């Protein structure tokens, strides 16, 4: 029902760096969310997990969880924002519903949710 097309996922290093440098960050125990408004990147999202989180399997799992949380809640997010989601160490051991609650709480804190 809710799809996340590949064209909406950020891949380029300089896009990640731009959002990281100029975006406003919001954080909790599980995630860091960078919110950025830029022409050309509206409605796009990037997912990152640093080497401190663990091996490749662990990092990919964290990115998969963040992607799923975004996919399920993308209709609630205003399309004028570009997001960068960065996983934290605590997210490596948690289930999807915990990460989803963390994602939505950051969305409320950043005031990017519709309505």
pTM, 2 dp = 0.95
Low-confidence residues in the chain, pLDDT < 70: 1
pLDDT at 8: 95
3-state secondary structure the chain: CCCCCHHHECCCHHHHHHHHHHCEEEECCCEEEEEECCCCCCCCEEEECCHHHCCHHHHHHHHHHHHHHHHHHHHHECCCCEEEEEECHHHHHCCHHHHHHHHHHHHHHHCCECC
pLDDT score recorded for residue 105: 97
Looking at residue 2, what is its pLDDT?
Answer: 84
pLDDT value at position 38? 82
Given a contact cutoff of 8 angstroms between Cβ atoms, the answer to whether 33 and 66 are in contact is no
SS3 letters across 73-99: HHHHECCCCEEEEEECHHHHHCCHHHH
């Amino acid at each position: 029902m809710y799809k996340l097309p590949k064209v909406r996922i950020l891949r380029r290093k300089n896009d990640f760096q731009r959002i990281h440098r100029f975006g406003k960050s919001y954080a909790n125990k599980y995630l860091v969310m960078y919110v950025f408004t830029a022409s050309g990147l509206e409605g796009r999202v990037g997912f990152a997990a640093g080497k401190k989180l663990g091996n490749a399997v662990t990092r990919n799992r964290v990115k998969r969880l963040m992607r799923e949380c975004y996919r399920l809640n993308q209709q609630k997010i205003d399309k004028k924002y570009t997001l960068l989601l960065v996983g934290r160490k605590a997210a490596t051991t948690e289930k999807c519903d915990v990460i989803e609650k963390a994602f939505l709480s950051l969305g409320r804190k950043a005031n990017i949710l519709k309505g």
